[in-house]
């Protein structure tokens, strides 16, 4: 399987120690290219461990600027489903509006029935939420769009398919698909990608970037997690007309955490560091390449690229 090529000056974005709300980590950015600039919303966390969104932009895809000393979006502490932060933005443009899916974070009440919370002793409550903007300065809250479901990794398709909006999301441990007429009410939800036994994505899988339209189908960069809790990236191809149909899925990862900044990162409560994570939530096509922006061990933002023609040619040979 073809591999991504890391940018030689990674990581491209590091936490700013003098900016309190992002002093601990920057990670998991959403990106979109408008033909002139790549706009980025990145997740940041300071000493209070509340995730907020910062903004930056780039004209060449590698050097970002325009950083602000304040977050452009933060959660409402009065909102019970979002009082612990907003995580992992993913951006699409539909007509003249940018839509941002993200994860609202809180915890379930202490009386919530005991269950396996996957990676924590805490009963994390995560909900898929939606924002929109036209200028990345002011944002309109649409609120939670998947009610009563602990779900993460929401990624909208960048256009309607058969008159419907389409959404990928993750109910542990699978990737699900859902459809909507209005971006608020979702139906026909079902599992479309599952973990594979004895593989690099054996424990859970999750959508990465919003899918990219190609002649072959909808190209999705996704993450998979193995039994040692190593996060890697792979690709899956969905049918153009029926995106619930998987046409191709990589047997091998296209990026795995081999660099030091990907292997040892953010120090969680209790002194344990996040390790061995590459996680994308934003990919753009520019100069006949795919620019894959990824969070590295929950502390930095890295960049890796792949030639579009080479990648699609390899996929085509296996269809």
Separation of alpha carbons 18 and 12, rounded Å: 18
Q: What is the pLDDT of residues 145-193, one digit of tens each?
A: 999 999 999 999 999 999 999 999 999 999 999 999 999 999 999 999 9
Residue ranges per domain, the chain?
Answer: 5-316
pLDDT band at 118; cut points 50, 70, 90 = low
Is residue 116 pLDDT above 60, yes or no?
no
pLDDT band at 117; cut points 50, 70, 90 = low
pLDDT band at 76; cut points 50, 70, 90 = confident
Burial string for 282-316 (b: 16+ CB within 10 Å, else e) reads: bbbeeeebbbbbbbbbbbbbbbbbbebeebbeebe
Helices (H), the chain: 260-263, 308-316
Residue 37 neighbours by CB distance under 10 Å: 15
* pLDDT score of 119: 53
* pLDDT score of 122: 78
pTM of the model: 0.96
Separation of alpha carbons 268 and 229, rounded Å: 15
Write down the number of H helices and E strands in the chain: 2, 20
CATH class of the 5-316 domain in this structure: mainly beta
Contact (CB, 8 A) for 102 and 93: no
Q: In terms of Cα–Cα distance, which of 235, 238, 280, 290 is closest to 89?
A: 280
Separation of alpha carbons 225 and 153, rounded Å: 14
Is residue 270 pLDDT above 90, yes or no?
no
pLDDT band at 123; cut points 50, 70, 90 = confident
**C-alpha distance across the termini of the chain, in Å:** 14
Q: What percent of the chain lies above the pLDDT cut of 70?
A: 95
Task: Give the pair of three-digit tokens for residue 254.
Answer: 């296209």
């Amino acid at each position: 399987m073809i591999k991504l090529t890391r940018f030689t000056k990674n990581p491209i974005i590091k936490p700013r120690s003098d900016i309190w709300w992002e002093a601990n980590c920057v990670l998991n950015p959403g990106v979109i290219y408008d033909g002139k600039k790549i706009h980025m919303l990145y997740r940041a966390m300071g000493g209070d461990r509340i995730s907020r969104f910062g903004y930056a932009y780039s004209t060449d895809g590698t050097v970002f600027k325009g950083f602000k000393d304040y977050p452009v979006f933060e959660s409402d502490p009065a909102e019970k489903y979002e009082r612990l932060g907003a995580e992992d933005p993913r951006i699409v443009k539909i007509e003249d509006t940018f839509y941002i899916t993200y994860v609202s974070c809180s915890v379930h009440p202490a009386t919530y029935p005991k269950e396996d919370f996957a990676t924590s002793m805490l009963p994390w409550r995560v909900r898929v939420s939606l924002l929109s903007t036209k200028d990345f300065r002011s944002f309109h809250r649409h609120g939670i769009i998947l009610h009563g479901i602990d779900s993460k990794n929401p990624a909208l398709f960048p256009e309607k398919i058969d008159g419907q909006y389409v959404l990928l999301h993750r109910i542990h441990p699978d990737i699900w698909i859902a459809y909507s007429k209005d971006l608020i009410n979702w139906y026909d939800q079902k599992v479309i990608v599952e973990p594979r036994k004895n593989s690099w994505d054996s424990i859970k899988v999750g959508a990465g970037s919003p899918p990219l339209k190609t002649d072959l189908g909808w190209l999705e960069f996704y993450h998979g997690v193995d039994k040692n809790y190593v996060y890697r990236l792979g690709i899956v191809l969905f049918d153009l007309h029926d995106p619930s149909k998987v046409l191709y899925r990589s047997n091998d990862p296209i990026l795995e955490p081999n660099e030091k900044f990907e292997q040892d990162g953010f120090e969680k409560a209790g002194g344990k560091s996040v390790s061995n994570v590459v996680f994308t939530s934003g990919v753009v096509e520019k100069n006949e390449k795919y620019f894959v922006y990824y969070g590295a061990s929950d502390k930095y933002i890295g960049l890796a690229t792949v030639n579009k023609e080479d990648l699609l040619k390899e996929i085509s040979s296996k269809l």
